[in-house]
Every structure is written in structure tokens, then in C-alpha cells.
Structure 1
Amino acid sequence: MGNFYSAGRDPIFYSHHANVDRTWSIWKSLSINNKDFTDKDFLNTYFYFYDENAQPVKIYVRDVLDTKKMGYDYQPQDLPWLKSKPTPKRNRLPKPLKKVFSTVKNVVIEYCKKHVESTAAKSSSTEDSCSSTANTSTNEELKKWDSEF
């Protein structure tokens, strides 16, 4: 159905569009307020299709909105799902947001402390004579801690 010019030859095309028409028909039957569009620009929009003789045929939107006018209708069906509501799960209580926020806050604080300590360790090691070795060691430890975090 990905190619507009050959979509009508795709076997799923008819079942897909039949289901769209059926859904539209059900929706219109649910309320007297559910009606076809009345905008003249929409209704006067047309498309070209090809008939069985490969001749182009101009089809207006207004001519294909009513399935009965096109020679078919859908069998009325019960809609038990229409008035049903999902049953809430009573065994799952939501986590209090305070607890979630405090957990996240504690993790953020732990992360920040580790990075502050690492920075402090780097700055104190610059005073040592082997500062480049100490900095490398501290950087590697922090990277390892970050990956495990």
C-alpha cells in the first residue's frame, strides 16, 4: 500500500478500507450528532481512479460517503465494549511522589559528591611531584565508578 498508483492492487487494501468504512458507519450510528462532513470544499474534492478498461474516472468525495448509495451496508452488531469500563487494579498502589523524588535526589547527591571529591583529589595531587600519575589514576577510578553507577 506504500505506492499510491498501485495500492489498489495490494490484497490488504480492500480489507483495510472496508474496515475504515465499517468504523465510520459505526461511529455515525452511535449518535445523531455524528454526521458526514458538510464542508463544500471537502465534498467537492475529487480523485481520479482507473476503471476496468484502464480509463480514468473522476470520483467526488460527496459520492462515496454513503455506503448504501454505493450498493452495500454493514450488518448491525452489538457493541458490548461501548459501555464497558476497565476494571482498576486494586493491588497496585502508586508510589508516593515524595519517596520517588527523595530517591532521585539522593542518587543525584551521591553522584555530585563523588565528582566533587574527585576534583578535590585532583587539585591536591597537583601539589605532589607525581601529579600526572595521580590525576590519571583518579580519572580512571571516576570513569569506572560512573560506568558502574
Structure 2
Amino acid sequence: MAATSSHTPAKTELLESLAVLATAQWRDFAAAAARQGLTSMQARLLGQLIRPLPMRELATLLACDASNITGIVDRLEAQGLARREPDPRDRRIKRVIATPEGEETIRRVRADMGVMHRALDALDTDEQAVLHRLVERMRPALDA
């Protein structure tokens, strides 16, 4: 593993580094989505569908109005990448599910993120494992 510095960064330094990382990740994701014929929001929504999700929950996750989700899902359905189904507990609620083609499409988007893959390749396997553990430790606070 690479040598570490004895400098402990301030939270503002960490936030700046994370902002640079997030911006690069977002640009790379949007470019990869475009190469698959998707807008960045369509790809973001598709990426959330690791399980069926109600339309309202998708709006919350993507920080947008529920009416926007309807249009995004309409376009994904037209492309055969997602479908709506009634919630088995409350048929008034519509859940969105990725189709097998949608799952494959979001996999291709993530695989095509060359900038981020090269950035991760700059880390050795031990560093990648440490980064993964640190990000996973932060996730509960981010998901709250």
C-alpha cells in the first residue's frame, strides 16, 4: 500500500476532494449514459432499480418532482428498459422495475465509465478495499 501522509485534512478539505470526485463521477456517468442513448436522469433512475420502487420513492431518491419521474419512466418504458406494476400491498401505488434489458443497460453504463475506472486503477487492491470499507461506513449517514 502507498505511504500515507501524517497530515490530517480538515473536513472542508475532505469535502472539496469529495466534490471533485463526485463531479468527475457525474460527468463520466452522464457521458456513458449518453453513449447508451439515455439522459443522465434516465440512467440515474435505472441505477436505482435494484429492487422495485414506488414512483414517489424514486422522486425522493432523485430529488425531483414526482411528475418528472412519470415522464422519465414513460421514456424508459418506451425503450423497454423499465416497466410499472401495481404494488401488491396497495394497488393504487405503482412500482417501477428494471427489465432485464434495463439491468444490462445500466451495467454497460457503469462498465463504460472510463474516467472513474482509470482513477480507481490508480489505487492498488489494498487501497481499493480500504476505500470501499470507508465509503460503506459512510453510507448509513448518507442514506438517512
Question: Shorter-chain TM-score: what band?
Answer: under 0.3
TM-score (structure 1 length as normaliser): 0.26
**Larger Rg: 1 or 2?**
1
TM-score (structure 2 length as normaliser): 0.26
